[in-house]
Amino acid sequence: MPPRLPLAQAARCCQARPSVVPVSASSSSPTSSLISLFAALSVQTRSASILASLSDNRGAYHKRIRKGRGPSSGYGKTSGRGMNGQKAHGKVKPWFQGGQTPLIVSHGRKGFVNQFAADMSELNLDKLQEWIEAGRIDASKPITPREIIKSGIVGSSIKDGIKLLGRGKEGFKLPINITVSRASASAIEAIEAAGGKILTRYYTKESLKRLVQGKSLHTDKPLPVGKEHVEEILAQARSLKKKYYRLPDPTSRWDIEYYRDPAHRGYLSHQLAPGESPSLYFKVPTGGDMVKMARTEKVKADKKGAVVSEKLF
């Protein structure tokens, strides 16, 4: 970039000289002086000494550390790696254990992480009672996951469900009607001892989001299955002024068995016949099975008694 001249010096250089201008052009001297004035004003004024102080903006340039370039660099000879050892000669893998038999080979893997397990938000009885006493949850109405999540008692993030735990069961004395995804045996016992009612229902992460947003209506009854119920379901959907998503029902065997079990207070437990097992695979022993089991136990006892008598005599 060429040096810029000051304004006064540029104006003097651009002025028209009378000794050089011919007689025929003397009448146009005012116009030429104005042109030279505007030309001088259009030129930016900057000192020529700026060329000696040009530099990058602070932080725009970072000097790269060049290792192994002599003692003056500060990283010469060993390049900051020290004198001896494997790390000075080359790269060491992070799982390298010095050449010994790796621990994972000698001892094996311990445990596992179930990537398919549901991620539940945990809720304890003592915290639930604290929220109710503070007026943040209305205990006079049925407590559903919608009220639990909107109150902020389990945090702002919505997970796969809500599990009720029994911490603080000794001081829990509120008769509430609550519906959650899962519940521990101690929590169920404490709520029912206080005169309350608890029900476990199947939810998913997406269904909980829709429930909080008001896009689903909460119900503790499953969707009836069968062609004879199609018209009934369609009539209920047409009667609503707004379209809602229905809450899902379990499809995997583990979930179906959990919510069929009366011990878990599952919402599908009413489907069980008297004496029927909640399991879809194992059945409750019938009369004939009980007789066979009794005979087998008797045979085992007789054999054990015979062996004991032989040892005595």
Torsion of CA 233, 237, 238, 243, to 10 degrees: -160
Per-residue pLDDT tens digits for 179-215: 999 999 999 999 999 999 999 999 999 999 999 999 9
List b or e across 249-277, with b for residues whose CB sees 16 or more CB atoms inside 10 angstroms.
Answer: ebeeeeebbbbbbeebbbbbbeeeeeeee
Name the band, by pLDDT with cuts 50, 70 and 90, for residue 1.
very low
Q: Which range is least confidently modeled, 1-10, 59-68, 69-78, 159-168?
A: 1-10
- Predicted confidence at residue 184, as pLDDT, reads 96
Query: Mean pLDDT of all residues in the chain?
Result: 84
- Predicted confidence at residue 299, as pLDDT, reads 86
Three-state DSSP state, 27:
helix
pTM of the model: 0.59
Per-residue pLDDT tens digits for 70-121: 999 889 999 999 998 888 888 889 889 989 999 999 998 888 888 889 999 9
Quick one: how far is CA 50 from the chain centroid? 56
Residue 19 has pLDDT above 50, yes or no: no
Q: In the 8-state DSSP scheme, what is residue 224?
A: P
Name the band, by pLDDT with cuts 50, 70 and 90, for residue 124.
very high
- Predicted confidence at residue 21, as pLDDT, reads 44
Taking the C-alpha atoms of residue 119 and residue 111, their distance in angstroms, rounded to an integer, is 18
